[in-house]
Chains A and B, each alone.
Chain A
Amino acid sequence: MFSQLIINGISSGSLYALVALAMVIIYKASEVPNFAQGEMATLSVFVAWHFVNAQFLPFYQAVAAALLFAFAVGVLFEFTVLRRAEKPSILELIVMTLGLQMFIYGIIGWKWGAEQKTFSLPIAEDSVVQLGPVVIGWLNIITIATSLLCVLVLYLFFTRTKLGTAMRAVQMNSTAARINGIRVHRIMSLTWGLSAVIGTIAGILFAPVSPLDPQLMWDPLLKGFAAGVLGGMTSPFGAVLGGYILGIIENLFGAYISLEFKSVVAFALIVLVLWFKPSGLFSRHYERKV
């Protein structure tokens, strides 16, 4: 029973980890929590659904197209909206992401309506693997494996590639990055694109266990945000760990204490973290960029 709960916790934690990761990448570069991230992901999942159902593309091609689409949306938002603002304050940035959120929410409702659809992976949903006393659904295995793979690829990307290193440099000190010849604007656009892709991967993994409607990502986004805060918003490593921890705690709480209040746990955790360790569990102290 216990190990079963842990596995399920890790599975939902994988989604929170991806959402948190997408959020932290943006937060470190632009110093703004991207409230539109959920809608950006939802839109891309709808695009994938549209390709599968209306265009009759095979699943994997539809997903690839949706990821490309997500990347384009991220890049386009940075390029057409954020970059046009002259020295925006944090509040102005937040308002811009909220504006984008409502804009995309409206577009989804207008294009696909509010009725619920289903978007599932091309596997038998109830197929399971028996590991001793633990039963793991294939969906859970795929979710966990995909998120681990994403984390690994991102780790290699940020530490080994020229582009990833440049992204970290921009996040740390954009003036220094600039005078070393790094094209900061281009890096910002690509960062938004990358974040949108990660968010969309989370969305595609979440869609099979939830009805596909315009509110698809509301819950995972809030949980992912909580995971990010738990891990300290400035640390990708912390965000991933925060995601897994939140998933596990939530599942244990739901089973042993109260199923009704299961989804409130995340927010109780945010409050506790902000109370006792405002910089998050895994973050080094927050340095203000000047």
Chain B
Amino acid sequence: MNDFFTVTGLTRTFGGVVAIDALDFAQKKGSIFSIIGPNGAGKTTLFNCISGIYRPDSGEICFQGRRIDGLKPDAIARHGIARTFQNLELFFRMTTMENLMLGRHIHMRTNIWHGLTMFHKNSTAAREEAEHREKVEHIIDLLDLQSARDVPVGALPYGRQKLVELGRALALEPSLLLLDEPSAGMTSDERQDLFFWIKDIQQELGVSILMIEHNMQMVMDISDRVLAIDFGKKLVEGTPEEVAAHPEVIKAYLGED
């Protein structure tokens, strides 16, 4: 039906505990696909399997027609999948600019010699550097990070650090972007901005987004499809309305009456 991104029969256990249990789903190109579920449902484990940090025990992950399960994280990045983390993974001593430039790593080509001898503006390395900088400046403008550009990321407030991580993921120019609780820890203003930016990223940059999110309002407003999981198994998958109407989801999120 669709060969953009599919997960089939994915299983991952830790010792005797089954974190993900024969999970299936498929995402359409260009869509926003949200995953919800209580803490410990296996959402982050799923992300770690997709981005190569964990090896799945069994099952398949296919991206643009290629199997990517079992590949190393750096290989998966080169396939065009970027991600953010629930607990930020940033280069805290580097500036926002440097963090974003590192996001462009897979697109850089200059060799050591050109880098070492970059003494004037027209050298190969300087020209390539300028190219990457332009792309990064574009992202900085998009996410309104100008004032943070030359500040070490460790010195920024939490909400902005989350944006830097989002920006770094965008700098990789991914086809698929995995966001692990992007709005967690943000103020309601920041959350509002984030909501629009995620929309922009989908619509203007054409990036498909796979997102774990606890804020139900945001999930319902922004998603094309929603998958609810619990104990590593699919509870229900469908449009936001379908999922919100499902008795198990109502039970999990609104409590039993």
Of B53, B108, B111, the most chain A CB neighbours within 10 A belong to B108
> Do residues A161 and B82 form an inter-chain contact, with CB atoms below 8 A?
no
> Do residues B78 and A181 form an inter-chain contact, with CB atoms below 8 A?
yes
Q: Size class of A's contact patch?
A: 20 to 34
> Do residues A175 and B89 form an inter-chain contact, with CB atoms below 8 A?
yes
Total cross-chain contacts (CB, 8 A): 89
> Do residues A179 and B91 form an inter-chain contact, with CB atoms below 8 A?
no
Assembly CA distance A182 to B103 (angstroms): 9
Point out the residues of chain A lying under 8 angstroms from B94, CB to CB. Answer: 168-169, 172
Kindly report which residue of chain B lies nearest to residue A159, judged by CB atoms: B115
B159 at interface, CB cutoff 8 A = no
> Do residues A180 and B90 form an inter-chain contact, with CB atoms below 8 A?
no
> Do residues B105 and A182 form an inter-chain contact, with CB atoms below 8 A?
yes
- Per-residue CB contact flags for chain A residues 165-183 toward chain B (1 = under 8 Å, else 0) read 1101100110111111111
> Do residues A157 and B90 form an inter-chain contact, with CB atoms below 8 A?
no
With A156-B116, A157-B112, A162-B110 given, is the CB distance from A178 to B73 under 8 Å? yes
Kindly report which residue of chain A lies nearest to residue B118, judged by CB atoms: A160
The answer, among B77, B110, B118, for a CB contact under 8 Å with A179, is B77
Point out the residues of chain A lying under 8 angstroms from B93, CB to CB. Answer: 172, 284
Assembly CA distance A161 to B124 (angstroms): 12
> Do residues A161 and B89 form an inter-chain contact, with CB atoms below 8 A?
no
The answer, among B89, B92, B105, B110, for a CB contact under 8 Å with A287, is B92
Assembly CA distance A229 to B78 (angstroms): 38
A207 to chain B, nearest CB (A): 27
> Do residues B115 and A181 form an inter-chain contact, with CB atoms below 8 A?
no
A137 at interface, CB cutoff 8 A = no
The answer, among B53, B74, B101, for a CB contact under 8 Å with A182, is B74
A272 to chain B, nearest CB (A): 27
Kindly report which residue of chain B lies nearest to residue A153, judged by CB atoms: B116
Interface positions of B (Cβ within 8 A of A)? 51-53, 72-74, 76-78, 82-83, 85, 89-94, 98, 101-103, 105-106, 108, 110-112, 115-116, 118, 125, 168, 172
Q: A157-B116, A165-B98, A181-B172 are in contact. List 5 more A-B contacts (CB 8 A).
A: A160-B118, A169-B94, A175-B85, A178-B52, A180-B103
* 9 A–B pairs (Cβ distance < 8 Å), ordered by A: A156-B115, A157-B116, A161-B112, A172-B91, A173-B90, A176-B89, A176-B90, A180-B168, A182-B74
